Structure 1
Amino acid sequence: MHGLLEVLESAIDLDKYFADDISDVVCTGSLAPFLLSHRAATKNIVIVTHSSRRAEDIATEIAAILGNEAIIQFPAWETLPHEKLSPKSDTVAKRIHALYQLQNATGKAKILIAPIRALIQPLVATITETPLLKLEIRDEISLSKLVSQLTFMAYTRTDLVERRGDFAVRGGIVDIFPPLEEHPVRIDFFGDEIEEMRYFAVSDQRTFTPYLGKLEILPCRELLITDDVKTRALALASAYPELTDICTRISEGAYVEGMESLASALSLSMKPLLSYLNKGTEIILLDEERNRSRTLDLVNTSNEFLEAAWSNAANGGATPIDLRNLLGGGTYSSFEELREYSQNNRSFGWRSINNFGGEDSTFIADFLPHEPYKGNNEKVVADLSNWLRNGYLVLLSAHGHGLADRYFDILVDSDIPVRKSESIKSAPTRDGVIVTTSTLEFGFINDVIKVVLITDKDISGHRNTTGDGAKMPSRRKKTIDPLELKAGDYVVHEQHGVGRYIELVKRDFGGAVREYLVIEYASSKRGQPGDRIYVPTDGLEQVTRYVGGEAPAVHRIGGSDWIKAKSRARKAVKEIAGELIRLYAARTSAPGFAFSADTPWQRELEDAFAYVETPDQLSTIDEVKRDMERPYPMDRIVCGDVGYGKTEIAVRAAFKAVQDGKQVAVLVPTTLLVQQHLATFTDRYTGFPIKVAGLSRFNSAKENKEILDGLAHGSIDIVIGTHRLLSQDVVIRDLGLVVVDEEQRFGVEHKESLKKMRTSVDVLSMSATPIPRTLEMAITGIREMSTITTPPEERHPVLTYVGPQDDKQVTAAIHRELLRDGQVFYIHNRVESIDIAAAKLRTLVPEARIAIAHGQMNETALEEVILAFWNREFDILVCTTIIENGIDVANANTLLVERADLFGLSQLHQIRGRVGRSRERAYAYFLYPVDKPLTELALDRLTTISTHTDLGSGMQVALKDLEIRGAGNLLGGEQSGHIADVGFDLYMR
């Protein structure tokens, strides 16, 4: 888009807006990236935003004009300075990398972009003193030296490398996952020389492509444990008893979670980010007022956390020491202090670009935003045609090639002069619409210089995400993970039966060091210790975790028990299979509709997807399409954790059905989901002649009647609705596909109506934690099943805290979320006292807008509240467990659960799945009363939920739930006994 900047610079004197006597410029938001890009040509600038999200957005917009190499991004921690949580290793590495770039600022980088939160937090002064580790093939470095350097740089030594910041050593091989790399790297040594470097996949630990160039290894922590830090830690441990535990471990060289909260006491000195910038740099605030108020909120919340974190540390009693003096150096500075430092100490320029202004502001009035077209393509075509007739320069920018191709086709069909351009590097000519791709959010129009920029977001009204296409998701993961096993866990070996896992050991056979799982079986001789087998880690496909009844009997190696148990289970499965085959035959002999192969439009729709598909998503989409193209009805269930992109599979399947002139019904359990799916489907089908309607109580009677008429006449292609769609009066003229979302939530009578449909139309069901019965049915083959286990990129596991309830902790957690413009779910599961809980929250956080939702409200009122929360009209939703049901509020990323000890396991998992659905780090607090002892069962459940925090653990939790409750029964087959004999996994095989 640099060419458009050149057009603006030649038509307007942009420099006058940066004159010395002007400090506050007001313009439409879509012009800001062009103004900033112009300023960066003559000045080093720092762009300051009120939030991390805004910083990322403005960075992608400026990158569309100047390219990525012009920009340095400096992210803020996602934790507060005094919180006992460490920032993520990739955040730390990005920050350190940015500081090195600033120190050696040669070349193109002219723009530093940071949220205000990063500017007001001081940095450890020695942060850039550790030289970076750079490795390439043929370099010589001793293995022991490399290991000690990695340990010093806060990398964690593990058996298997799975997370950023891990490393492992096996013989002459070092595996390492540097925080800024997409995949971990395997370094192969020959003596002390690096012979080969290759990327490998976390899921199966296999290498797949060579690593080319220099591997740059950055520290994983900002505070590294030097001798000086150890000495200070020892002194702190003896001076302050409540810090003894954490400081003793630091003094021994161990990196402790949350040690950054003591950074100002452990390091020699702290200094601000601005001290790394050259004199004469200009600071430009985007929306100064929001930056100012955000700083005030941050300072207040940080102080609350300082008190909450350390009062908790002293078991509820206030700490006897004044930690403010001890840790004050690490706390946020105020807006005034920041401004004073930048102008007095560094003589930086200071100005702002705002959306609104006062009497003293300078307005750039000729640039106006577009009115949103809300998908009305006829109006877009008419406006474009009109602008061309009047001699305007017209640019249409889309986020992906698929959408750009789609708009190009629409304009060609409408006889509008149009051409495609990959990127606009120099000033374009005014001979027709130019369609291009870029990451610009919105466009503008200027009637004085006759220039129009219009984006896909202007046309559709909203856009999904900022996902970039370069990311390669991790591979599928199916086998047992030895690191998830604890000593004493029961496992099943296909050949030898049920045994007890003992440990993971290394053995040297003929010079090759390999890792083995040690499994103990019953002793073959009475009075002797158990027999053990060693299973190499590359032979793990034979071993599964035991999921069944209570503690099982351990088998003897070579004994007959295991063979008998297997044959009993096999016989039971055969009997059930006979029943299933009859059902299956009935289905496959029923005449169905064979959909045709993908059309060019299908490819355009799929190219316009704003995320990168995960491998599981792609394979599931292929499986669904293959089923649809067969001549008998499809019956497939897709299991995937909450927010793993199941909706996109439905979007593509529905589109495929409509291409063949069929209608589609999407069945969802709640009216809120009707609204959410309606928004998603409408957004994805922007630019295509497809009519989508939502049948719900939020429509007027007249609107619903029009929708029913449209379905009967065939003018509506896709209808989304609740079980109202199953009523007798709903007639769909040519139904080809039924999509059932959250299938486990429909009642028996609805399932019966669905069953009748199954024999004649294609049915695609979707579920997050499959209820054990569905799990069993799918795996025994009544229905085809696809699973999605890879999280979308940009998603992080939910940080889960289990502990006693404490008002300070609750207040601080809510404030932390409100500071990043987020929302909070507060679960109080007793309707009679929910108003009291809400009133208490109003006294703790008076500034928050609080709403109440529970199942005893009448349905319309309930849905209005939840819809208002979805539309961000409230900050906190105090509710009962009704939210476990598929409510997708991407902006709500903190969850607090009162009396978590009273909940079931899959309930806790479903509830936790409500947060962490966007790229923000999410927090879940499971709280129990201080004064009531926990039952063993509650303890077991809370322990499980705090250990299974990995993304995609829904299936694991469903299996654990099966284990805690015992397996159910299917088609009357007495199978729970057999499952207990051989374990769930093997039984299903």
Structure 2
Amino acid sequence: PWQAELEEAFPYTETPDQLATIDDVKRDMEAAQPMDRLICGDVGYGKTEIAVRAAFKAVQEGKQVVVLVPTTLLVTQHAETFSERYAGFPVRVAQLSRFQTPAESAKVLAGLADGTIDVVVGTHRLITGRVHVKNLGLVIIDEEQRFGVEHKETLKALRTDVDVLSMSATPIPRTLEMAVTGLREMSTLATPPEDRHPILTYVGAYETKQVGAAIRRELLRDGQVFYVHNRVEDIDAVAAKLADLVPEARVATAHGQMSEARLERVIDDFWHKEIDVLVCTTIVETGLDVSNANTLIVDRADRMGLSQLHQLRGRVGRGRERAYAYFLHPADKPLTETSLERLRTIASNTDLGAGMQVAMKDLEIRGAGNLLGGEQSGHIAGVGFDLYVRMVSEAVAAYKKALQVGGAEAPQVGEAEIDEDLRVDLPVDATIPEDYVPHERLRLEAYTKFAAARTDADVNDILDELTDRYGPVPEATARLAALARLRALAARLGVREIVAQGKSIRFAPVSLAESARMRLTRLYPGTVLKPATRTIVVPAPSAARMGGGAVEGEALLRWAEVLLHAVVAGEADYETEATRYRRRR
């Protein structure tokens, strides 16, 4: 009854996505296995209310809840929100950040240890390893993209059998990839709240007159302005310039190096409309909710990350008024390629609910700019991004299938039957250029199709579709098709690894008969055979061997294809072509 009473007291109408996500979360919490769900919803789409209800459900079962947030300002705001929603219920909410005195912190830690505190909202202090929670049942991570791997490793010690709910508008690439492959459950909030308008976004060079005009226009409608300048050293000088530029505006500064009392006072004054322009660092990036502030000006936007820019834009446009966001860069300094890419992305993704598209683009820029290339990080580098994603998703699918069959023992990850668990890592630029397929979602879709191709016919169908939709395919995409054909051939022949190794190419596993070994050493002199590991290491074709000039990526792929046909498959026609390559030395 209390849960129903809490939910009925929500002052807004829930969106359909919110209701579906709340049901998903409750179902996960009631299941035997611990929950590990990611909620991806844009800024202001009601993620906090889902957290409030989940925490209340955990407290009803006698469990304690830890809410982890990245900034002290967000601690204060979340603690207020949770306390307001739980008013009238016997739920004790506490906060733990640098805003608390040592005595207050000690009291909170004692309350967590003896179980008298039900919900604690805190910053990184909660994951120092020194916080003991008597009966932890749920961990909520807000703004998941702000926490690193080390933080999450510390959390694992807390949460071996604890439910975890992560929330973000722009999940980090690793988390998003885990959700996309099915390793984590994901719920998406795509429906905007009522009366919400897209934020008009401008990206361009800094102009003093434009900044002054933007501030004045906001003041004329009795609104307020966020001016983000992320350098504490000269933030006061910037505030003084703005005060000179717009004398009628009340200007104040806010940054993380201020004392707790002063920072709290400034934010409180801004909240109560006693400040018109808040010159601040990215301390306001997450969670700050001031519905009367509807103009955002970001100085040196070229220095900021993609999710940071999107989160900052989410500080405005939270009411019914039309909001404006200006992302400015110096007029006299050239932008780096990555900065240009980020600013272009933030300018083009202005629709309501664009957070997911921004996160996908971030995944493409940072983690998988070339889905089939070598620019990767973490464990993915060991096997290649496309193979890694396929292996994980197929292993997860097999595990789920075994569970659905009923009673059958689920296979361990890695035991799943995988058709093409192979790695092709060659120095080849194989991409789908942006100017060919401009929309990133469609581009990722095309990459996925190439990675899933199992025959030459599949590859040709993909090329026909691309040609039909976008015109003749560029060279880089033709190389991607050639790479997909090579993968399909290698899979059919049982080869699981084609990897550049110095000036040679390694093929494994390859089991060759005596005649095939003789053919290999004759056609490819200098080859090293390693029977113990069923590996062959073949000298890569040089420019001279390929007929002069730099070895083009497509020629290298064709060379590898010919080698497989001629040696592993033993086809005479290809033996002739391999001989031709050798004679060009």
| Match in the other structure for 2:527 | none
* Letter of the 2:146 counterpart: R
| Residue 643 (structure 1) aligned with residue 44 (structure 2) | yes
SS in 2 for 1:920: coil
1:740 is aligned to: 141
Contact map agreement 1:773 1:970 (CA 8 A) in 2: no
Distance 1:706 1:938 in 2: 46
Distance in 2 between residues matched to 1:755 and 1:841, nearest whole Å: 46
Which residue of the partner structure matches residue 219 of structure 2? 818
**Within 1, Cα distance between the matches of 2:41 and 2:116?**
33
Relative to structure 1, the CA distance from residue 730 to residue 826 in structure 2 (aligned partners, 3 Å threshold; closer, same or farther) is same
Q: 1:898 and 2:299 equivalent?
A: yes
Across the aligned residues of Structure 1 and Structure 2, the Cα RMSD in angstroms comes to 2.8
Aligned residues: 390
> In structure 1, what residue type is equivalent to 2:241?
K
Aligned to 1:712: 113
The structure that is strand-richer by fraction is 1
The one-letter code matched in structure 2 to 1:876 is V
What is the distance in 2 between the residues matched to 1:909 and 1:769? 8
2:385 corresponds to which of 955, 976, 981:
976
Give the structure 2 partner of residue 919 of structure 1. Answer: 320
Partner of 1:945: 346
Separation in structure 2 between the aligned mates of residue 747 and residue 729 of structure 1, nearest angstrom: 19
Supply the distance in 2 between the matched residues of 1:943 and 1:695 (Cα, whole angstroms).
38
Indicate the residue corresponding to 1:844 in structure 2: 245
In 2, Cα distance between equivalents of 1:872 and 1:699: 26
Q: Aligned partners of 1:637, 1:904: CA distance in 2, in Å?
A: 21
Question: 1:969 touches 1:975 (CA, 8 Å); kept in 2?
Answer: no
Aligned to 1:723: 124
Q: Does 1:621 align with 2:30?
A: no
Give the equivalent residue in structure 1 for 2:161: 760
Confirm or deny that 1:695 pairs with 2:104.
Answer: no
- In 2, Cα distance between equivalents of 1:809 and 1:909: 22
Letter matched to residue 384 of structure 2: Q
Mind listing any 5+ residue stretches in structure 1 that lack a counterpart?
1-599
Q: CA deviation at 1:872?
A: 4.2
1:887 aligns with 2:288: yes
Question: Equivalences for 1:567-716 in 2 at 5 Å?
Answer: 600-716=1-117
CA distance in 2, matches of 1:970, 1:618: 36
Secondary structure, aligned partner of 1:837: helix
Residue-by-residue CA offset, 1:595-636 (whole Å, 9 max, x unaligned): xxxxx2211211111111111111111111001001221111
Q: Which runs of 5+ in 2 are unaligned?
A: 369-375, 390-429, 433-442, 453-585
CA displacement at 1:828 relative to structure 2: 2.5
Whether 1:878 and 2:301 are equivalent positions in the alignment is: no
Give 3-state SS (helix, strand or coil) of 2:198's partner: coil
Q: Is the 8 A contact 1:738 1:761 kept in 2?
A: yes
Q: 1:958 & 1:727 partners in 2: Cα distance?
A: 28
Identity %: 69
Instruction: State the SS of the aligned residue for 1:688.
Output: coil
Q: Distance in 2 between matches of 1:904 and 1:681?
A: 30
Q: Structure 2 vs 1, CA of residues 771 and 716 (structure 1 numbering), >3 Å: closer, same or farther?
A: same
Partner Cα distance (1:902, 1:706) in 2: 40
Q: Following the alignment from structure 1 to structure 2, what is the Cα–Cα distance between the partners of residues 785 and 976?
A: 20
- Asked if the contact 1:627/1:634 (under 8 Å) is kept, the reply is yes
Cα pair distance change 1:611/1:913, threshold 3 Å: same
The structural deviation recorded for 1:840 is: 0.9
Trace 1:385-784 onto structure 2 (pairs within 5 A): 600-784=1-185
Q: Distance in 1 between matches of 2:221 and 2:63?
A: 44
Structure 1 residues 836 and 919: alpha-carbon distance in aligned structure 2, compared to 1, 3 A threshold:
same
Opposite residue 974 of structure 1, the aligned amino acid is V
One-letter identity of the residue aligned with 2:168:
S
TM-score, normalised relative to structure 1 = 0.37
Cα offset, 1:856, TM superposition: 5.4
Deviations 1:388-438 (A, max 9, x none): xxxxxxxxxxxxxxxxxxxxxxxxxxxxxxxxxxxxxxxxxxxxxxxxxxx
TM-score when scaled to structure 2? Answer: 0.61
Take 1:817 and 1:825, find their aligned partners in 2: how far apart are those partners? 11
| Offset of residue 745 of structure 1 | 1.4
Distance 1:609 1:855, change over 3 A: closer
After the TM superposition, which of the residue ranges 616-625 and 931-940 deviates more from structure 2?
931-940
**In structure 1, what residue type is equivalent to 2:141?**
V
The secondary structure found in structure 1 opposite 2:326 is strand
The Cα of 1:939 is off from its aligned counterpart by 4.6
What residue is the counterpart of 1:788 in the other structure? 189
Which residue number corresponds to residue 584 of structure 1?
none
In the aligned structure 2, how far is the partner of 1:623 from the partner of 1:827?
37
Deviation (angstroms), 1:771: 1.0
Which of the residues 361, 364, 388 maps onto 1:960? 361
Aligned residue for 2:52, secondary structure, equals: helix
Q: Distance in 2 between matches of 1:716 and 1:963?
A: 42
Give the distance between the partners of 2:330 and 2:180, measured in 1 at CA: 40
Change (3 A) 1:626 1:635: same
> In structure 1, how many angstroms separate the alpha carbons of the residues matched to 2:301 and 2:104?
43
Worse-matched range after superposition: 816-825 or 762-771: 816-825
Q: 1:946 to 1:744 in 2, by over 3 A?
A: closer
Counterpart AA for 2:254: A
Q: Report the alpha carbon displacement of residue 855 of structure 1 after superposing the two structures with TM.
A: 5.1
Name the CA distance, whole Å, in 1 between partners of 2:304 and 2:94.
Answer: 37
Question: Aligned partners of 1:619 and 1:825: how far apart in 2?
Answer: 34
C-alpha displacement of 1:940: 4.3
Deviations along 1:853-902, whole A, 9 cap, x unmatched?
34555777656644554454432222333433443333321111223344
Letter in 2 for 1:703: E
Deviations, residues 904-928 of structure 1 (Å, cap 9, x unaligned): 4333222212211222221112234
CA distance in structure 1 between the aligned counterparts of 2:226 and 2:147, rounded to whole angstroms? 24
Q: Deviations over 1:20-74 (max 9, x none)?
A: xxxxxxxxxxxxxxxxxxxxxxxxxxxxxxxxxxxxxxxxxxxxxxxxxxxxxxx
How far, CA to CA, are the matches of 2:338 and 2:94 in structure 1? 46
Counterpart Cα distance in 2 of 1:860 and 1:727: 24
Distance 1:882 1:704, change over 3 A: closer
Q: Secondary structure in 1 aligned to 2:290?
A: coil
